[in-house]
Amino acid sequence: MISVLVVVPTYNESESIRSLLSRLDAARNLISNSFNIDILLVDDDSPDRTAEIAKSMNLPGFSILNRKIKSGLGPAYLAGFKQGLTGSYQYFVEMDADLSHQPEQLVDLLNAASNDTLVIGTRWIPGGSVVNWPTQRRWISKMGTGYAAFALKLPYKDLTSGYRVIPRTFLEKLNFEEIETRGYGFQIEMALKAITAGFRIKQIPITFVERENGYSKMSLAIIWEAWSMVTIWAIRRLVYRR
């Protein structure tokens, strides 16, 4: 039996968390013969009672890591990984709380996982799709991941995707103190570090659905962080190769 921890960062996701956890619980039950899946909610002290709502569902194999400081997506995931590494989990799954990532597709990502591979759920490959995004949002996403792939010379179509399976073997090698990003650039940084450490990347098509409730955490500051750090990493790689 393969042991898996799904890490879900939350901040003010009270409108979607009940549906997400219900669907995730149903999805893990369908594959319980192959995977033993626990769920860890990493909540940054949501004032809308996200954590309380989740706890009230009394799901088995579910726990909450309460953080008192809202410091971004990257630190939330790292906190979840650190806690998970104290257990015996073989794989760690990243998943958004706003229902943009479909729990029913978790089995596809897990079936592609291995100890030497980072699996990225990918929107921009055949079989992948985006639902309810305006054209402008599509172009921003494609341009962002396209720039990262070009600058870092990584042949992948969705480096900013946050639906992933990370092997324990990678996290055990990762120096958490060296992570430089807090927003969605964290996803690019993790992929870059995986490649640098000798891990493969496998792209699995997913359906991304725009949130129906709440609000996006994307901001100009987050976009700037990702763009500027990608540029810095590209220059470092160029200097290192020379």
pLDDT tens digits, one per residue of 25-57: 999 999 999 999 999 999 999 999 999 999 999
Q: Is the predicted pLDDT of residue 189 greater than 80, yes or no?
A: yes
Contacts of 78 (CB under 8 A, 6+ apart): 176, 179
pLDDT value at residue 70: 85
3-state DSSP assignment of residue 4 = strand
pLDDT value at residue 71: 84
Which residue do the tokens 């098509």 mark? 205
List of domains in the chain: 2-241 (3.90.550.10)
Percent of the chain beyond pLDDT 70? 95
pLDDT value at residue 233: 83
pLDDT value at residue 215: 60
CA distance 180 to 176: 9
CA distance 167 to 131: 29
Mean pLDDT, the chain, as a whole number? Answer: 92
User: Helices (H), strands (E): how many in the chain?
Assistant: 8, 9
Tens-place pLDDT, residues 105-124: 999 999 999 999 999 999 99
User: 169: which 2 tokens?
Assistant: 């073997």
CA distance 154 to 37: 31
Q: Is 63 or 240 the better-scoring residue by pLDDT?
A: 63
pLDDT band at 84 (very low <50, low <70, confident <90, very high): very high
Tell me if 204 sits within 8 A of 108, measured CB to CB: yes
pLDDT band at 217 (very low <50, low <70, confident <90, very high): low
Tell me if 120 sits within 8 A of 158, measured CB to CB: yes
Tell me if 160 sits within 8 A of 120, measured CB to CB: no
Percent of the chain beyond pLDDT 90? 77
DSSP state of 59: -
pLDDT band at 69 (very low <50, low <70, confident <90, very high): confident
Tens-place pLDDT, residues 126-181: 999 999 888 888 888 888 889 999 999 999 999 999 999 999 999 999 999 999 99
pLDDT value at residue 226: 77
The CA-atom distances, in angstroms, between 130 and each of 37, 72, 187, 242 are: 26, 24, 18, 39
- What are residue 43's phi and psi, to 5 degrees? -105, 130
User: 238: which 2 tokens?
Assistant: 């160029």
Contacts of 138 (CB under 8 A, 6+ apart): 130
Contacts of 208 (CB under 8 A, 6+ apart): 100, 101, 123, 128, 129, 130, 131, 133, 161, 163
Segment among 16-20, 94-98, 130-134 with least mean pLDDT: 130-134
CA distance 133 to 120: 20
CA distance 56 to 83: 22
CA distance 66 to 6: 16
